[in-house]
Amino acid sequence: MKINEEKVNEEKIDDAVLAILQLTAHHDGVSTRAWKGQSWEVLDRLYQKGWISNPKGKAKSVVFTDEGLKRSELLFKYLFQEGAASPSSAMPSERKKENKTGGTRIRISLRYSDPEIWRELCIPDGLTLGDLHRVIQIVMDWDNDHMHQFIHKKKLYGEPMDDFGFELLDEEDFTVSDFFPRKGSRIMYEYDFGDSWIHDVVSLGKASKGDPFFHVFDGAMASPPEDCGGVWGYSRMLEALADSNDPEHEDYLEWMNADFDPKAFNRDKINKRLSKILKSA
């Protein structure tokens, strides 16, 4: 039977699929994942709303965002457990972005990228490093599939793990104000220790009154895809994609989306994700 598309409520479908993802939800020690055996169209909408990581790629699962996981659990109880109350009052809501407390404008750039890949935004001074990590993942369009750390004055900050082998200070115990006291203050953020994506996070000074938090003002270039070999692997990939005679051209073309544009920078898409994912700071 063909479904009458005019009568389909996509919001209800999205909620139902997000709830169903709970059936295969599992924690891998870093994040909560679910097998992505659902409609690609729906999974992409869930990604655009900020509930899950980007479903495109080789991974067989998607990662719940913090807000997505909460929403998924609430919807699962509401839809599939008898007697469960409506989750509407407990649903994660969009943040109020008005800057009523101190904030800092920062510039995040991917080191060694050429042309430079960068983003500029405003964050509250009370934001923890852990939340800053989540902000960077969103604005740089990473999938949060790998480990990370912050580096500042030879000290390391991140998610402490017993088998790390060296001291890693808990990123949730430190806030932005600890590292950005003035314009020009900086911290280094490394994502994926294999590909080693190094980001320079630099303070542009205190935010002006009225500057909205978690809002990207400007930026340039698309972020590289995950697992492409770091900055130099990404450069090699673009080189092969641009040359149809390159021996690796077809392999990269098959691996990447045909519509990938390295020069694309969609600020509105990033800000939409930020407005749906982050908690009030």
Angle between helices 10-20 and 40-49 (to 10 degrees): 90
* pLDDT at residue 165, as a whole number: 57
**Predicted confidence band of residue 189 (pLDDT cuts 50, 70, 90):** very high
The size of the chain, in residues, is 281
* pLDDT at residue 101, as a whole number: 54
**Predicted confidence band of residue 72 (pLDDT cuts 50, 70, 90):** confident
Mean pLDDT, the chain, as a whole number? 82
Residue 83 reports pLDDT greater than 80: no
Distances (CA, A) of 177 to 19, 28, 84, 102, 109: 37, 31, 42, 9, 20
Give the Cα separation of 45 and 21 in Å (integer): 14
Q: 7-90 sits in which CATH class?
A: mainly alpha
For the chain, helix, strand, coil in percent to 5 are 35, 20, 45
Q: Which residue is it, tokens 């930020």?
A: 274
Pick the CATH number of 103-224+261-277 from 3.30.1490.100, 3.40.640.10, 1.20.120.80, 3.10.290.30: 3.10.290.30
> DSSP letters of 131-198?
HHHHHHHHHTT----S-EEEEETTEEEE---TTSSS--EEGGG-BGGGT-SSTT-EEEEEE-TTT-EE
CATH 3.10.290.30 domain locations along the chain: 103-224+261-277
Give the Cα separation of 199 and 151 in Å (integer): 10
* pLDDT at residue 38, as a whole number: 83
Alpha helices (runs of H) in 39-128, residue ranges in sequence order: 40-49, 66-80
**Predicted confidence band of residue 19 (pLDDT cuts 50, 70, 90):** confident
* pLDDT at residue 34, as a whole number: 87
Range from 19-28, 39-48, 196-205, 233-242 that averages highest in pLDDT? 196-205
* pLDDT at residue 33, as a whole number: 85
Angle ∠(75,79,80) on CA atoms, nearest 5 = 115
Lowest mean pLDDT among 88-92, 125-129, 206-210, 270-274: 88-92
| β-bridge partners, 219 | 119
* pLDDT at residue 168, as a whole number: 86
* pLDDT at residue 138, as a whole number: 93
* pLDDT at residue 30, as a whole number: 61
Phi and psi torsions of 19, nearest 5°: -70, -40
Lowest mean pLDDT among 50-59, 207-216, 259-268: 50-59
Compare 160 and 272 and report the one with higher pLDDT.
Answer: 272
Read off the pLDDT of residues 118-165 as tens digits, 9 standing for 90 and up: 999 999 998 999 999 999 999 999 989 999 999 999 899 998 876 655
Residue 15 reports pLDDT greater than 70: yes
CATH 1.10.10 domain locations along the chain: 7-90
Residue 198 reports pLDDT greater than 90: yes
Average pLDDT value for residue range 155-180: 84
